[in-house]
Amino acid sequence: MTVAPLRTLFNEINYEMVRKIAEGGMGLVYEAEQLGAGNFRKTVAVKLIREEYSAIEEFQKNFIGEARLVADLIHTSIVQTYHLGSLGGQYFMVMEFVRGVNLEQFLEKHRELDRPIPVDLAAFIVSRIARGLTYAHQKCDREGRPLDIVHRDIGPKNIMIAYEGDVKLTDFGIAKAFDLMYNEEGKVIAGKDEYLSPEQASRAVTDARADLFPLGIVLTELLLGRNIFRAVDRAQSRRNIQTMPIPKFGDLRPEIDERLETIIHKALQRDRDKRYQSAFEMMTDLELYLYGDTYGPTIEKLGTYIKELYSIDDPGSRPPIYTGSRP
């Protein structure tokens, strides 16, 4: 379907498509304005399946499954989903629009400037995602049954930082949950090779602890500016995750003290029984590290930092705007 008919269809249900902001192999994301009475306008992100995939049952199931899963995930550290619909045979999701950058762009900006990310802000960003995961992992359905959500795709592309400093987890597209899982573990590897847990890399059945190992990887990448497990060959990345010796990170960056070193190594335990047993435990240790004996970083401090990083007050060099979703 071309852009013009698409705009017309969405106008009929009071959404004004502003511009396409992301495009992938199977989907598209648009910035849109939700219109209402009294000149009401709300900026949202609209994520939809490409027309050629909308008729394929497997893609429909996965897309609908993601929307159902995140419908009631309402937390400051998770990008919210407002609506699932279908127009002209294409399914679409209406989602929270986040004005900011994803963590991959945040990392790349620091590499461009040859500038390390402050240690306290790196720990703060990861602590906020641990907060979101704590909520998601503990979420129950309306009958009170645990949903047993596992995100399975923790990585820089799926973590957003708003210009105000809010940190948000997005894209539950390959998450699994009780009675809601369309790709069988044991047959496929869900997730990106350089951000897998050892159990994902070995095709084992996962639980919530599988999200904590890649969260540890993200923390080390923020601290070092690189993913130590990443290799040119995807299979080698998986082998690195399973067998590569874990370094002493304080030797790689002296500002990493023993307290933070202990947190990182616990998150990167390959034996999940020795790893953090919950996101709440990891969040608590990070917050004790940040605030145990001093006044630590805040959302406002991160917001000030990212605005300075991107020269956001300079109209001639304003950074691009990204949504809380990817196709």
By annotation, the residues acting in catalysis are 153
| Element at 169 (helix H, strand E) | strand 167-169
H or E, element range at 66: helix 57-70
Token pair 């790893």: residue: 275
Distance CA 46, CA 68 (A): 16
- Alpha-carbon span 175 to 215, nearest angstrom: 15
Contact between 222 and 107 under an 8 Å Cβ cutoff? The reply is yes
Q: Which two tokens stand for residue 174?
A: 């390959």
CA distance 6 to 12: 10
Q: Which SS3 state, helix, strand or coil, does residue 231 take?
A: coil
d(CA 297, CA 291): 8
Rounded distance, CA 30 to CA 262, Å? Answer: 42
- d(CA 235, CA 228) in angstroms, rounded, equals 15
Residue type, 295: Y
